[in-house]
Amino acid sequence: MTFDYEWFKQKVYSMTQIDLNAYKERQMKRRIDTLIAKNKYSGYDTYVAGLTQDQSLFEEFVNYLTINVSEFYRNPEQWRLLTDEVYPMLMERFGKQLKIWSAACSTGDEPYSLVMSLSKYIPINQIRIFATDIDKQVLAKAKVGLYTGKSIEAVPDIYKAKYFQRVGSSEQISEEVKRCVEFKQHNLLKDTYPTNCHLIVCRNVLIYFTEEAKEEIFKRFYDALCPGGILFIGSTEQIVNYKEIGFIRNSSFFYQKPL
Percent of the chain at pLDDT exceeding 70 = 98
What are the backbone dihedrals phi and psi of residue 200, each rounded to the nearest 5 degrees, phi first?
A: -120, 130
CATH of 76-256, one of 3.10.105.10, 3.30.1950.10, 3.40.50.150, 1.10.3720.10: 3.40.50.150
Percent of the chain at pLDDT exceeding 90 = 73
pLDDT attached to residue 178: 95
Interior angle at CA 233, CA 19 and CA 250, nearest 5: 140
What are the pLDDT digits (tens) for 115-158?
999 999 999 999 999 999 998 888 988 998 888 888 999 999 99
CA distance 135 to 259: 34
What are the backbone dihedrals phi and psi of residue 131, each rounded to the nearest 5 degrees, phi first?
A: -130, 135
CA distance 246 to 70: 29
List the chain domain ranges: 5-65, 76-256
CA 2 to chain centre: 35
Look up the pTM and report it: 0.83
DSSP state of 151: G
